[in-house]
Amino acid sequence: MKDYGVFDILGPIMIGPSSSHTAGAARLGKVARTIAGGEIKSVVCLLHGSFAKTYKGHGTDRALVAGLLGMEPSDTRLRDALQIAEDRNINVQFEGTDLGDVHPNTVKFLIDGKNGHCEVVGSSIGGGNIQISEVNGQSVNFTGAYPTLIISHRDVPGVVSKVTALLYEMKINIAFMNVFRTQKGKNATMVFQCDNNIQDDLIYEIKNIDAIENVVSINSIAEG
Amino acid sequence: MNIKSGKELLNICSEQNISLSEFAIKEEMERSEISREEVIQKMKTVLDVMKESTNEGREKKIYSVSGLIGGDAYKLNKYIKNGKTLTGPVMNKAMARALSCSEVNASMGRIVACPTAGSCGILPAVIITAGEALGLDDEGMIMGLFASSAVGMIIADNATVAGAEGGCQAECGAAAAMGSAAVVEMMGGTPEMSLNAAAIVIKNILGLVCDPVAGLVEIPCAKRNFAGAVSALTTADVVMAGISSKIPFDDMVEAMYRVGKQLPASLRETAEGGTATTETGLKLKKEVYGE
């Protein structure tokens, strides 16, 4: 059972028409943009289930692109997002697909940006809430409701403790943490969902740890 | 939340001698670790967005992206100005405001999901119209919104406010119950009377299915929003007259959830039954998406 607050019931403030097909889609786009490292040159959105069937009527396409452009779900420019992307020479494509046994409102982003190619899979799970399930082929699991660190590293002993020691030094409290890997000794990912905002100098220090390959920091998706 | 039921809510309000709105403010201060002023300021922002979305569609004709709905809030507003309504300007303004929010939502304008985008017209219509009729200022309406959230949190915690899970009774039903409870507080009623109003509203909307044409938040959603607003306002009068609900609020929330689970999937936002699969509903779907 979820524990609701006042502004979960009276909120979010959002562009219509659907919290899951519009607000959640914009949040997915925004998180994908952050993971891709900001500026985006082109993107293919592979839409699954209800996203694929009803995206036009719900403005899911505009919302996804609005998020990819860095807009919040309450941004009134959201409805013009496709035009804005075109004006900025960002190539946007939508394709229906079957992503298998996933939530009905799921999208896979194939992004080419200034940091190269990046792939993100996420679902809009209701009420504007989202869940990211895959980053660059690596399984992950986070909601964006908390400040989140996604750290790619080599699967060697001691990396996790070095990172958590740094978080402790900076007085960052970890709400949830997960570690995922594809193969022993190869690529791994740790995801921290924290109670406190993460400062740039902490990211810099984590990047300096041996065996760390990449660090992505995502601010909480809640506005205000 | 520190409480789990309407019964506990009434106990805490009576022990501490506080209103529903005061309870909600205290809850949010504790939950978000922010000051009373900040909590109230956040609600002021919510009220401001609600005011805009209740006005926009009355002042000019707004159409949904699909083109299926629009222009109705404007029509009703014009009708009120002719001065010949049967149910009076208060009821008609509430209906026009609810329609306006639904039209703004369907046109990809800005709204407050309260509790959901599909039911976003009911609470603003009810709070602003009642506030205006009762001569309350912004602060009075903000207190109304807090009172409504106390009821909404209990419904969401114990049942659901998602159409896909509980049908329209869970979305528009929850919104109307929240609104009616709030208006009772705005009129000077006790927390117990507020929960009586919420219980009666749920009773009257019980079983309402979620059956959107073409799967869009348009038909019948917009009209269910005005109907929900009417139910909330009329029930507030019934309760202020001293009439109570024979079945208590907690029981009705439980019944609503149970009925929601008993509804077949075809009547829970899948667009596979009810209004969506009428002859005309299917025709409209083809017009939106092609063959």
**Which of A 44-73 lie inside 8 A of B, CB atoms?**
50, 53-54, 56-59, 62
Residue B265 lies in a domain: yes
Question: Is residue B197 within 8 Å of B239, Cβ to Cβ?
Answer: yes
pLDDT in tens, B109-167: 999 999 999 999 999 999 999 999 999 999 999 999 999 999 999 999 999 998 988 99
Q: Measure the CA–CA gap between B176 and A6, rounded to whole angstroms.
A: 16
Residue given tokens 């083109």 in the structure block: B67
Angle value at C-alpha A28, between A24 and A33, nearest 5 degrees = 150
Q: Tell me the pTM.
A: 0.91
Cα dist from A178 to A141, A150, A174, B262, B273, whole Å: 8, 10, 11, 37, 41
Residue B87 lies in a domain: yes
The one-letter code for the residue type at A85 is A
Q: Out of 3.40.50.720, 2.70.98.20, 3.30.1330.90, 3.40.630.10, which CATH number does the structure's domain A6-136 have?
A: 3.30.1330.90
- Given a cut of 50, whether residue B23 has pLDDT beyond it is yes
Evaluate the CA torsion angle A152, A156, A161, A162 in order and state its sign. negative
Residue B1 lies in a domain: no
Structurally, at CATH architecture level, domain A148-218 sits in 2-Layer Sandwich (3.30)
Interface touch A3/B109, C-beta < 8 Å: no
Interface touch A7/B42, C-beta < 8 Å: yes
ipTM attached to this prediction: 0.95
Q: How far is B244 from chain A (nearest CA, A)?
A: 26
CB atoms within 10 A of CB A17: 29
Contact residues, chain B, for A224 at CB < 8 Å: 42, 45
Residue B32 lies in a domain: yes
- Return the pLDDT at B164: 86
The percentage of residues in chain A with a pLDDT greater than 70, rounded to a whole number, is: 98
Q: How many CA atoms lie within 13 A of B205 on its CB side?
A: 35
Residue B221 lies in a domain: yes
Q: How confident is the model at residue A224 (pLDDT cuts 50, 70, 90)?
A: very low
Q: Where are the domains of chain A?
A: 6-136, 148-218
- Return the pLDDT at A56: 82
Query: Could you tell me the CATH number of the domain that includes residue B158?
Result: 1.10.4100
- Given a cut of 60, whether residue B47 has pLDDT beyond it is yes
Q: Measure the CA–CA gap between A11 and A17, rounded to whole angstroms.
A: 14
Q: How many CA atoms lie within 13 A of B123 on its CB side?
A: 38
Is some CB atom of chain B closer than 8 A to the CB atom of A173? no
Q: Give the phi and the psi of residue B272 in degrees, each rounded to 5.
A: -110, 15
pLDDT in tens, B247-260: 999 999 999 999 99
Q: For residues A25-54, b (16+ Cβ closer than 10 Å) or e, as one string?
A: bbbbbbbbbbbbeeebeebbbbbbbbbbbb
Range of the domain at B122: 6-289
Interface touch A22/B108, C-beta < 8 Å: yes
Q: Measure the CA–CA gap between B205 and A16, rounded to whole angstroms.
A: 24
Q: Residue B70 pairs with which residues in a beta bridge?
A: B63
- Given a cut of 70, whether residue A1 has pLDDT beyond it is no
Contact residues, chain B, for A80 at CB < 8 Å: none
Residue B212 lies in a domain: yes
Number of domains in chain B: 1
Is some CB atom of chain B closer than 8 A to the CB atom of A17? yes
Question: Is residue A123 within 8 Å of A74, Cβ to Cβ?
Answer: no
CB atoms within 10 A of CB B103: 29
Interface touch B216/A15, C-beta < 8 Å: no
Q: How far is B114 from chain A (nearest CA, A)?
A: 5
> What average pLDDT does this structure show over A76-98?
96
Angle value at C-alpha A155, between A151 and A159, nearest 5 degrees = 60
Mean pLDDT for chain B overall:
96
Interface touch B120/A16, C-beta < 8 Å: yes
Interface touch A5/B42, C-beta < 8 Å: no
